[in-house]
Amino acid sequence: MELKDSVDERPEWQSLQRHKQSLADMNLQNLFAEDDGRFEKFSFRFNDLLYDFSKNLIDSHTLKLLVDLAESTGLNDRINALFSGEPVNVTENRPALHTALRMSSGQVMVNGNNVVPEIIAIREKMRDISERLRAGLWLGSTGKPITTVVNLGVGGSDLGPRMVCQAFKHEASVNVKVLFVSSIDGNEVVDTLKKLNPETTLFIVCSKSFTTVDTLVNAETAKQWLIKSLGKNRSLSNHFIGVSGNPEKMLDFGVDPEHQLPIWDWVGGRYSVWSTVGLSIAISLGMHQFEKFLLGAAEADKHFCETHLTRNIPVIQALISIWYNNFHGASTQVILPYDHRLHVLPAFLQQLEMESNGKGVTLNGNQVSCDTAPIIWGEFGPNAQHAFYQLLHQGTRFVPVEFIAVACNTAVPENHQELALTNCFAQSRALMQGQTATKNDHSHREMPHYHPGNKPSTTILLRELTPENLGSLIAFYEHKVFVQSVIWNINPFDQWGVELGKKLAGQLQSDQLDPAFHLQPSYDDSTLGLIAFVRKAST
């Protein structure tokens, strides 16, 4: 179904604009006062997850109009296209089959081949590698067991596995420690290597193209560290595993073919945590826990495919975000987890949403006619209360909030868990309720105490933080992003803006080798001035 580029010209969009104008005086407290069943009406349960949308500036008619908009874009057909392996990544003419990575059986055809058996076979190779490492059976070049694994990656090759490993670090293997290095500037890799024993350290070089400069410069530094420590004559075969779609480049670097794991071209980096990129998760938590993570995502996929749009959690989550982004003028959205185990989640979601939907061109190659992805930001909630909540409560910006909390956590003292949840619920209530000036005194002395309230939020509760529940949560966010892309008629699976930055960095690095670089007319005065300052500072 080919859509009009100008989504804002669709009748369903214009109906929402009129509806927004009619709700100028909508008040959240009044909505609750008028409807004792509002929480049940606007909250949805999925296994051990609860999504409470009731503190949003919506009513039943709002949701109906939003669903009408989604249906008018052919959303159901696009969901089918996504899961069946059609080339939904139109600029690269590829499918986007991160959902197939969660499957344990079945059939998904790509170029005439069923990719599911290959996925399962590679999963078994991940199992073999991870179990050998966890059992102390993977030996370094001096015969000592590997006890530290360092994942070298950036973006999707770092944030996804880092987020999951951080979430369950208290359940990690006691025999092998998993660390992450992503920074290009050298500080992180140098600081990490100082603490490690080269005889017992293995590096996972994780890059889909195996040309990502950030990752390869860290990998080369790691290789030279090993050579310097172990000697030039030592084999480094058991000190490197490669995860990439480029076996030739891995071999050129020195990764043994037996230690190579593939990434398929139909998996985008920010959607790759379910793939071989998740090897570090399997090593840290065990392959059985990684498979529970996959299972939770697969269950969320089933819900997304089979549930009517009016009760479909990621669809509703996406539509409410569009409601604020496109009809309330909210340019940002904040993510606030109230469980420290999820403190990497805002950064992960930042990449997922903004790299996917930060687009200004439609599937038809024309400029979009409305705003696309909002700016996603966030922080661990209790810390954020003492940092930027002031702006959320009394600032002039309209910022929709998503709170994420875990209901049960027996690993911490009960009073800590109770305080975290109490603060989460109180903050969502404070945003909604606000505070009037004392005794309606609107004097200059009292007005600083005034909180306008009526600020919307969604609360997502996990009964417990388990790999399965986290898998469902992340898969729902992926589907939310896809739904938004369908409505905006953009491609969420490419990232040409990222590629341009890489290209120019490579060109600049090469051009600086020319002694007459400062005379090149192709560079702007600012770039030349910055480089001149660095050169002078370095002499």
177, 340, 393, 502: which one is catalytic?
Answer: 502
Residue 414's Cβ-count burial label (10 Å; 0-12, 13-18, 19+) is: exposed
Cβ 468 vs Cβ 293: under 8 Å: yes
Q: Determine the pLDDT at residue 5.
A: 64
Cβ 336 vs Cβ 387: under 8 Å: no
Q: Determine the pLDDT at residue 442.
A: 58
Tell me 323's DSSP state.
I
pLDDT in tens, the chain (539 residues): 445 567 999 999 999 999 999 998 899 999 999 999 999 999 999 999 999 999 999 999 999 999 999 999 999 999 999 999 999 999 999 999 999 999 999 999 999 999 999 999 999 999 999 999 999 999 999 999 999 999 999 999 999 999 999 999 999 999 999 999 999 999 999 999 999 999 999 999 999 999 999 999 999 999 999 999 999 999 999 999 999 999 999 999 999 999 999 999 999 999 999 999 999 999 999 999 999 999 999 999 999 999 999 999 999 999 999 999 999 999 999 999 999 999 999 999 999 999 999 999 999 999 999 999 999 999 999 999 999 999 999 999 999 999 999 999 999 999 999 999 999 999 999 999 988 755 455 566 677 777 888 999 999 999 999 999 999 999 999 999 999 999 999 999 999 988 888 888 888 888 887 777 766 778 888 988 888 898 889 88
Q: Determine the pLDDT at residue 443.
A: 61
Tell me 241's DSSP state.
E
Buried b (16+ CB within 10 A) or exposed e, 264-299: bebbbbbbbbbbbbbbbbbbbbbbebbbbbbbbbbb
What are the structure tokens assigned to 202, written together?
């293995």
Q: Whole-prediction pTM value?
A: 0.95
In angstroms, the CA 436 to CA 431 distance is 13
170, 232, 386, 444: which one is catalytic?
Answer: 386
In angstroms, the CA 304 to CA 291 distance is 20
Cβ 81 vs Cβ 94: under 8 Å: no
Residue 502 annotated to the active site: yes
291, 299, 353, 355: which one is catalytic?
Answer: 355
Residue 355 annotated to the active site: yes
Residue 451 annotated to the active site: no
442 Cβ contact partners less than 8 Å away, ≥ 6 residues apart: 450
Helix/strand/coil for 205: strand
Q: Determine the pLDDT at residue 1.
A: 45
Q: How many other CB atoms are there within 10 angstroms of residue 43's CB atom?
A: 15
Decide the pairing of beta strands 401-406 and 457-462. Answer: parallel
Q: Determine the pLDDT at residue 509.
A: 85
What are the structure tokens assigned to 11, written together?
């009748």
- Using left for φ > 0, alpha for ψ between -120 and 50, and beta otherwise, residue 329 falls in left
Cβ 431 vs Cβ 389: under 8 Å: no
